[in-house]
A and B are shown apart, each in its own frame.
Chain A
Amino acid sequence: MMTNPGSQITQGQFSFLPPLTDVQITAQIKYALKSGWSLAVEYTDDPHPRNTYWEMFGNPMFDLKDPAGILMEVNNCRKTFPNHYIRVVAFSSAHGIESPTMSYIVNRPKNEPGFGLVRQETDSRSIRYTVHSYATEKPEGERY
């Protein structure tokens, strides 16, 4: 079990709040659309802090401007991967940004075992650190 306050992984914009309802998720989708951003749904069972590339639940929805349609994709992903981490990501294509502008978790596994810290003693008192995900001791798709 994770021992941080909240006992869960705190990546994303809203991990310190109670789980977002569909109404709240829709409001955030509307904000992104109003800002001219495209939305995408991504999932993973390897939530290492430096695992940049979560799997894409389809391409970013560049042409879908209907919040209800995007929420439907979120919920399709939740149905398909109920025990994975799922995040909604917004992308801006504006010059000077061209990068994600939002990222928040909308689904988590029931149990989050978290990470261990592996210390490799090296020269002098220096230590090389490895953040190790307990879940990845099992193969992909069988982790949570």
Chain B
Amino acid sequence: MASETMKEGKERYKSGVIPYKKMGYWEPDYKIKDTDMLAMFRMTPQPGMDPEEVAAAVAGESSTATWTVVWTDRLTACEMYRAKCYRCDLVPNTGEGTKTEAQYFIYIAYELDLFEGGSIANLTASIIGNVFGMKAVKALRLEDMRIPVAYLKTFQGPATGVIVERERLDKFGRPLLGATTKPKLGLSGRNYGRVVYEALKGGLDFMKDDENINSQPFMHWRDRFLYCMEAVNKASAATGEVKGHYLNVTAGTMEEMYKRAEFAKSLGSVIIMIDLVIGYTAIQSMALWARQNDMILHLHRAGNSTYSRQKNHGMSFRVICKWMRMAGVDHIHAGTVVGKLEGDPLMIRGYYDTLLDTHTPMNLEKGLFFEQDWASLNKCMPVASGGIHAGQMHQLLTYLGDDVVLQFGGGTIGHPQGIQAGAVANRTALEVMVLARNEGRDIWNEGPQILQDAAKWCGPLKAGLDTWKDVSFNYESTDTPDFVPSATTSV
């Protein structure tokens, strides 16, 4: 697989069309620099196309190329600015003899000078800007990126970070507990705050607006903020703990979002919330605001599944995790494994590692194709939300660890004895499981028994376990790793 690049000079720049491979976008011998931005795509070429040529086209169109030769390249250090596709591998279990048409993992290196510092918008305009619509690719998916340390250092990163969030909240050594207020639409401000108060007083750390709670006819935003902060403070006094409610400040304009964030701050909220759909630049702006105003910034990943779920086209959620950690959010919904939303255990662990590690090693089983040094960027807290309940506590703690917010919305508010009892059930299940794990017990296997033993002295836990004992969501994941560990015999 030698490089087929034409030599620089008159021949190379004759008007017309030459293959991308010959234009210098296919460099299998390329030596990666520490400062390079690396991207790995899953590429499905149109039938009959040479995969390396299509790979070179992806590199070309996401950097300097256009469809034809232009002499103006010769005014620039064009060899440096060209992205180089340096590797093109057939994806395991695709192509001839399988049920799936051939897909390729293509690796592309980008010169650091192609990107403006501190701008997710600029980075993404190159990497996912034009290439996904090119006719030569039948489908394309951005699987992973390696962000060079030099570039990471141009980003603020999470406004607060996991460590400082825990210090501010005075909560250590266990997952945090939250819940989304339900029903998510229709409650008046007064009724909404009731749910918040009951759940926080019962034992949850956080309550949360849902992604589409903004300012609707049934509850305008100021009403929600006022009643929620009454609930938060009253619950804090009732328990002696710091409590919070993610006030969703998502709105139609930056001006309106700043206004709502300022009001949340004036009422003493420790945390505000935004939705992914507000866009990368708006997210970065809110992260700067949050850093300036001692605010934890929660991000709901509303909209991500439109482009992250299908395996052959779009982008992996792990890349969104990387970008959001750079953009500066403190929380991001990243999957539950056991709940109602999509998620293979290893893939989700990969997302969590991406958000929490100071240094992530390459790990193909988790879908991590590159080693990533996080350059001391703050850690971002993953949030597990959607269809989880106290009876799964041993699984949740095993899969997700301590640094996570477990959100039991239905599992708190739907408790047969009421919202406070639902919160007690969840908090008790959590504490008893953390205690047991720390004692060295095998919670994966003994978990159900540990919960049943606690249910003997905790009535709300018993009622919760009885209600949800048979609820599980066992569907096949659509996004799964392509690499499985196989035992090798040593000779």
Binding site for B on A (CB under 8 A): 2-6, 9-11, 13-18, 24, 27-28, 31, 47-50, 52, 89-90, 95-104, 114-117, 125-129, 131-132
Contact = CB atoms under 8 A, between A and B. Distances in A.
Given A10-B240, A11-B170, A28-B435, A98 B440 contact: no
Nearest to A32: B438
B240 A129 contact: no
A89 B438 CA distance: 14
A6 to B, nearest CB: 8
Contact of A117 (B166, B237, B427): B237
Given A11-B240, A114-B237, A16 B203 contact: yes
B278 interface: no
A100 B167 CA distance: 8
Given A24-B439, A115-B238, A117-B237, 20 more contacts: A2-B238, A2-B240, A3-B238, A9-B239, A9-B241, A11-B170, A11-B241, A13-B173, A15-B431, A16-B203, A16-B458, A27-B438, A28-B435, A28-B438, A28-B439, A49-B236, A96-B376, A115-B237, A116-B237, A126-B226
Interface in B198-231: 201-203, 226, 229-230
Given A99-B163, A102-B172, A114 B439 contact: no
B435 A24 contact: yes
A104 B435 CA distance: 11
B446 to A, nearest CB: 15
Interface string B152-178: 000000000001001100101110000
B296 to A, nearest CB: 15
A25 B166 CA distance: 22
B187 interface: no
Contacts of B163: 96-99
Contact of B435 (A2, A14, A48): A14
B119 interface: no
B439 A31 contact: yes
Q: Among the interface residues B203, B238, B432, B458, which one has the most CB atoms of the partner chain A within 10 A? A: B238
Interface of B: 163, 166-167, 170, 172-174, 201-203, 226, 229-230, 233-234, 236-242, 266-268, 358, 376, 379, 420-421, 424, 427-428, 431-432, 434-435, 438-440, 457-458, 460
Nearest to A50: B242
A interface secondary structure, majority: loop
A18 B457 contact: yes
14 contacts: A5-B203, A5-B421, A6-B424, A9-B240, A13-B173, A31-B438, A89-B172, A97-B163, A98-B163, A114-B238, A115-B238, A115-B240, A117-B237, A126-B266
A33 B430 CA distance: 22
Q: Enumerate the 10 nearest inter-chain pairs by beta-carbon distance, A residue then B residue, closest first.
A: A9-B240, A102-B173, A129-B233, A31-B438, A96-B358, A117-B237, A115-B237, A27-B439, A103-B172, A16-B428
Contacts of A127: 226, 229-230, 267
Nearest to A90: B173
Nearest to B234: A117
A134 to B, nearest CB: 10
Contact of A17 (B379, B420, B431): B431
Contacts of A49: 170, 236, 240-242
B435 A17 contact: yes
A13 B234 contact: no
B241 to A, nearest CB: 5
B277 to A, nearest CB: 29
A99 B238 contact: no
B240 A47 contact: yes
Nearest to B227: A125
A7 to B, nearest CB: 10
Q: Among the interface residues A4, A95, A116, A125, which one has the most CB atoms of the partner chain B within 10 A? A: A4
A11 B169 CA distance: 10
B343 to A, nearest CB: 26
Contacts of A5: 201-203, 420-421, 424, 460
